[in-house]
Amino acid sequence: MSATTTTTARTTESLTTSTSTPGWARWANQHRKWLFAAPAMVFVALLIVFPVAWTVYLSLTDAEGSVRAESSFIGFANYLDVLSDTERFWPAVLRTVVFTSGVLLVEVVLGMAIALLLWRPFKGEKWVRVAVLLPLVATPVAVGMMWRLIFDPNIGMANRVLGWFGLGPWPWLAGEHSALPTTMFIDIWQWTPMVVLILLAGLTSLSDEPQEAALIDGATAWQRFRHVTLPLLMPTVLVAVLLRGIDALKTFDILYATKGKGGGSFHEVETLNVYAYGLSFDYNEYGVSSAVLIIFFLIIIGSMWALTSRRKDVA
Amino acid sequence: MLRQSVIGTSLAVAAALGLSACGGGDAQSAGSKTVRVTLANHVWTENIKKALPEFEKKTGLKVEITQLGEDQLSDQYNVKLNAGSSDIDVMMYRPLQEGKLFAKNKYLADVTDKVKANKDWDWSDFKSGPVQATTYEDKVVGVPLITEQEVLYYRKDLLKKAGYTNPPKTLDELKSMAAKIKQENPGVAGFVARTGKSPAVTQFSSFLYSFGGDFVDESGKSAVGSPEAKQAYAFYGSLIKDLGPANVSTDMGWPEAMAIFTQGKAAFYTEANSLYKNATDPAKSKVSGTVGFAPFPEGPAGSKPYSIPSWALGVNDASENQANAWKFIEWATSKAQTLENEKAGVPGGRTSVAADPAATATYPKDLVEANAIMANNGVGHDRPLVVKVAEAREIVGQPIVDAITGKDATASADTANQKFQTFLDDENK
């Protein structure tokens, strides 16, 4: 570290003192912190700031049909419309919350259990780990299509298996009230491995001493987990919750692949993301759709902020 | 030194600008030798791809095809045309679904002069209904490509087993026959059709017309709350709820409904005739040998199936290669190509070809007869003729899924009627 600093300092010195150095090189050297950051800044400006600013602008207009068509500035009318819409918007918010909190809870609890099982070395450990992580590498659309076939009420595997035990047939994805829990199940199936992966990394980095001390003090397995492992692992758990939570909020592929546009005929699985997509790609209501997206954006930022501040408390 | 490089850079920029300006000029006058064509997944597309070398050889042009599923195609158009992109020259689109929206947004080039220029190609040969659907505010914006009607698909073997010699003539007969077959054959549904809120609307439309209703009445007001419409909703809903497959999903489009029929799990199926190959092709259907076709059964107002142009070809207004794009369309919709496609089972938009016995020589005989009957009594639309079709379909489709799931269809039709009226008022503002 210090060596690098010295080198840089020397280079700077030689550059500024040397009279043979061309002007542009001197200029570049003086502004190098901007110069090196420039590509990243341009990238951020073009691909993040501009789209967000454009969406904010669109959300304040009555743009529809085509974004190139004339539209007029209508202030916060779209936001008022959206926030007073109890037919599509608020149910979609509710579904987003139910979906996210539901899958998050199950994934963290289940992920923790699996991670604890895989923590200590055992025979065939490698194979088990690979098998557990497999769903993670499949593409969500393919996963959605696969489960859609399995859960087909008439020709699907799930009902055939239920039939062997004299149960069913259940409607699964086809049911008005069973569709959302079924998509949650698919999400849990696919993403629990990610939580396992993060928690396992956290567990492996824990030192053995506290565990041994607790063992000598006569703590039971549950007591060791509850009072030693879990508190030490808490920062990692929060990272997992944060990453998976944001991801779950934004879920689109699984929902779209299994239920299609509008989240099904009764909007059974229509979350905010699916709703915003429908507004812009089906209805061509770009103004309203942008307003929904901005509200959604704020919800994500808000929950992220809440979680990270909690994380600082723990750490 | 700094000044030097600034001058150098400006020179380079100026040169580049000059060059690109020239490039643009060239493209405007002669057009690129490559025509970029965006097509939907369809039997027609497969046929035309096979014939492409002939066109490329004749014109010296190169054709670049992008092929997408219906939904992906819509999304692609939404993104690219919205951005004013010029990298689509020819577009395959659905006149009744997106036609008005695209024409209103000026995505489709005005080809009125082009269709009238070539007497051999003969614009007057195209059927008038479809032509109306590809004309916007007196300007021709597309050429009809594929036309279709709704027919009744049925299983000859199941009918025979139940003691019927002929397919049903009326909707009431359809219902009683379906009920008997369902009862006598466990595991086989009497009837199947699309159930998804939006996909079902088009196939439901023939029921609606045959009951004497329509989506919009003569005065332009919503008519989905009329007594006729309510009857039609209840009838379609009960056909599927009482006589359809067990545990029926309310998300079925044609691929799902067709799968149930071709797996041998249903006796009757109402669907577009342009999809018949899926049921008669042994590679795709377990019941290929026993499928029969009949005209759409009569309701209280007679047999009134839709008869519509499902696909058309248009030129992207932002394309810089419009002349060559038109050359492709002229060839793809020529009499020869239309005939080739009709022979392969895809009915086109030309009267002369429809009248040619060679066109339908390979079709099932009963399908040809059904088509001939329906050509005379068809209704020219299968969904509300509005700009925002996707939204309208969801509104008028709600009572269908409500009826299928056993909810109060009458109340649902009244709600839909109100909503649809608000929608129409909003659109006509």
CA distance B2 to A229: 62
pLDDT band at B16 (very low <50, low <70, confident <90, very high): very low
Domain count, chain B: 2
Q: Considering CB atoms only, which of B246, B263, B401 is closest to A265?
A: B401
What letter does residue B36 receive in the DSSP assignment?
Answer: E
pLDDT of B144 above 50:
yes
B2 or B178, which is more confident? Answer: B178
Burial of A205 (0-12, 13-18, 19+ CB in 10 A): exposed
Which pLDDT does position A121 carry in this prediction?
A: 84
pLDDT > 90: percent of chain A? 57
Between CA B50 and CA B60, with CA B55 as vertex, the angle to 5 degrees is 130
Instruction: Tell me the pLDDT tens digit for each residue of A132-169.
Output: 889 988 898 999 999 998 998 877 889 889 989 988 78
Region B49-65 average pLDDT: 94
Does A90 lie at the interface with B, CB-CB under 8 angstroms? Answer: no
What's the mean pLDDT in A171-180?
A: 90
Instruction: Answer whether B196 sits within 8 Å of A66, measured CB to CB.
Output: no
Cβ-nearest to B251 among A68, A260, A284: A260
Q: A13 in helix, strand or coil?
A: helix
* Subunit contact B388:A283, Cβ cutoff 8 A: yes
Q: How confident is the model at residue B12 (pLDDT cuts 50, 70, 90)?
A: very low
Residue A159: its chain B contacts at CB < 8 A? 247
Please check the confidence at residue B323 and state whether its pLDDT lies above 70: yes
State the pLDDT confidence band at A18, using cuts at 50, 70 and 90.
low
pLDDT beyond 80 at B105: yes
- B126 in any annotated domain: yes
Stretch B281-287: mean pLDDT: 93
Mean pLDDT estimate for chain B: 89
Q: Do B251 and A283 touch (CB under 8 A)?
A: no
| Interchain contact A169–B (C-beta under 8 A) | yes
- Asked if A174 lies within 8 A of B260 by C-beta distance, the reply is no
Q: Is B74 found in the same domain as B203?
A: no
Q: Is B162 left (phi over 0), alpha (psi -120 to 50) or beta?
A: alpha
Average pLDDT over residues B338-347: 89
The answer to whether the CB atoms of B247 and A261 lie below 8 A apart is no
Average pLDDT of the residues of chain A: 88
Does B224 have pLDDT greater than 70? yes
User: How many CB atoms neighbour CB B158 within 10 A?
Assistant: 24
| CA dist., res. B187 & res. B181, Å (int) | 10
Measured distance CA(A206)–CA(A232) in Å, rounded: 8
- Does the pLDDT at position A175 exceed 90? no
Residues B163 and B138 in one domain: no
**Residue B104 at interface with chain A, using a CB cutoff of 8 Å:** yes
Q: B157 and B102 in one domain? A: no
> Measured between CB atoms, does B10 come within 8 Å of chain A?
no
Collect all residues of chain B within an 8 Å Cβ-Cβ radius of residue A284: 78, 101, 388
Residues 271-310 of A with CB under 8 A from B: 280-284
| CB < 8 Å to A67, chain B | 82
Phi/psi for A285 (5° steps) reads: -95, 80
Whether B422 contacts chain A with CB within 8 A: no
pLDDT at A11 over 70: no
Tokens of B329: 């369309």
Chain A residues with CB under 8 Å of B85 CB are none
Q: What percent of chain B has pLDDT over 90?
A: 73
Asked if the Cβ–Cβ distance from A22 to B198 is below 8 Å, we say no
Residue B321 lies in a domain: yes
Q: What is the pLDDT of residues A79-113, one digit of tens each?
A: 999 999 999 999 999 999 999 999 999 999 999 99
Residues from chain A that touch B2, judged by Cβ atoms under 8 A, are: 23-24, 27
> CA of B192, closest CA in chain A: separation in Å?
13
Query: In the prediction, which pLDDT does B7 show?
Result: 41
Q: What is the pLDDT of residues A224-235, one digit of tens each?
A: 999 999 999 999
A153 contact residues in B (CB cutoff 8 A): 246-249
pLDDT greater at residue B215 or residue B362: B215
Q: What is the pLDDT of residues A234-245, one digit of tens each?
A: 999 999 999 999
What percent of chain B lies above the pLDDT cut of 70?
Answer: 93
pLDDT grade, residue B26 (50/70/90)?
Answer: very low
**Is residue B165 within 8 angstroms of chain A, CB to CB?**
no
Contact between chains at B101 and A284 (C-beta distance less than 8 A): yes
With cut-offs at 50, 70 and 90, classify the pLDDT of residue B10.
very low
- What is the chain B residue with the closest CA to A69? B105
Is the Cβ pair A154, B247 closer than 8 Å?
A: yes
Tokens 């050429």 appear where?
B143
Whole-angstrom distance, CA of residue A196 vs CA of residue B202: 47
Name the residue facing B105 among A69, A155, A266 (closest C-beta).
Answer: A69
| Gyration radius from chain A CA atoms | 26
Task: Tell whether A162 lies on the interface with B, counting CB pairs under 8 A.
Answer: no
Contacts of B397 in chain A (CB under 8 A): 265
At what angle are helices A140-150 and A179-204 packed, to 10 degrees? 130
A165-173: long-range contacts at Cβ-Cβ below 8 A with a sequence spacing of 24 or more?
A: A169/B246, A169/B247, A170/B247, A171/B247, A171/B249, A173/A147, A173/A148, A173/A258, A173/A259, A173/B249, A173/B251
Whether residue B299 sits in one domain with residue B313: no
Would the CB atoms of A282 and B391 count as touching at under 8 Å? yes
* One domain, residues B83 and B218: no
Domain A89-269 superfamily per CATH: MetI-like (1.10.3720.10)
Are B397 and A27 inside 8 Å of each other by CB? Answer: no
Inter-chain contact B260–A153, Cβ cutoff 8 Å?
no
pLDDT at site B318? 94
List the single best residue of A66, A72, A256, A268 to mutate versus B (max B Cβ within 10 A). Answer: A66
State whether A281 and B81 contact (CB < 8 Å).
Answer: no
Residue B397 touches chain A, beta carbons under 8 Å: yes
Domain limits for position B246 = 150-307+384-427
CB contact under 8 A, A174 and B248: yes
Cβ-proximal residues to B281 (8 Å cutoff; 6+ apart), any chain: B288
Asked whether A308 and A95 are in contact (CB, 8 A), the reply is no
What's the confidence (pLDDT) of residue A314?
60
Asked whether the beta carbons of B394 and B200 are under 8 A apart, the reply is: no
Tens digit of each residue's pLDDT (9 = 90 or more) over B226-252: 999 999 999 999 999 999 998 888 989
CB contact under 8 A, B197 and A265: yes
Residues 6+ apart with CB under 8 A from A224: A211, A214, A215
Q: What is the pTM of this model?
A: 0.83
Same domain, B38 and B95: yes
User: Is any Cβ of chain B less than 8 angstroms from the Cβ of A263?
Assistant: no
Residues B76 and B54 in one domain: yes
* pLDDT band per the 50, 70, 90 thresholds, residue B11: very low
Q: What are the tokens at B211? A: 């009951």
- Domain residue spans of chain A: 1-30, 89-269
Q: Are the beta carbons of A154 and B245 separated by less than 8 Å?
A: yes
- pLDDT of amino acid A237: 93
Beta carbons within 8 Å of A234's beta carbon, 6+ residues apart? A314
Q: Is residue B28 part of a domain?
A: no
**CATH number of the domain bearing residue B342:** 3.40.190.10
Per the CB < 8 Å rule, is B401 touching A68? Answer: no
A/B interface, count of CB pairs below 8 Å: 80
- Closest residue in A to B392 (Cα) is A283
pLDDT tens, residue by residue, A56-79: 999 999 998 888 888 899 999 999
A267 touches chain B (CB under 8 A): no
For tokens 């490509």, the residue is B145
- Partners of residue A283 in chain B, C-beta under 8 Å: 388, 390-391
Note whether B209 and B340 are same-domain residues.
no
Q: What is the mean pLDDT of residues B94-119?
A: 93
- Do the domain assignments include residue B371? no
pLDDT at A7 over 60: no
Q: Looking at the predicted complex, does its ipTM rise above 0.90?
A: no
Query: Model confidence at A1, in pLDDT bands (50, 70, 90)?
Result: very low
* Chain B residues touching residue A150 (CB < 8 angstroms): none
Contact B162, B184 (CB under 8 A): yes
- Has residue B214 been placed in a domain? yes
Instruction: Examine the domain organization and report whether B134 and B236 are in the same domain.
Output: no
> Is A287 within 8 Å of A61 (Cβ atoms)?
yes
Give the rounded distance of the alpha carbon of A123 from its chain centre: 34
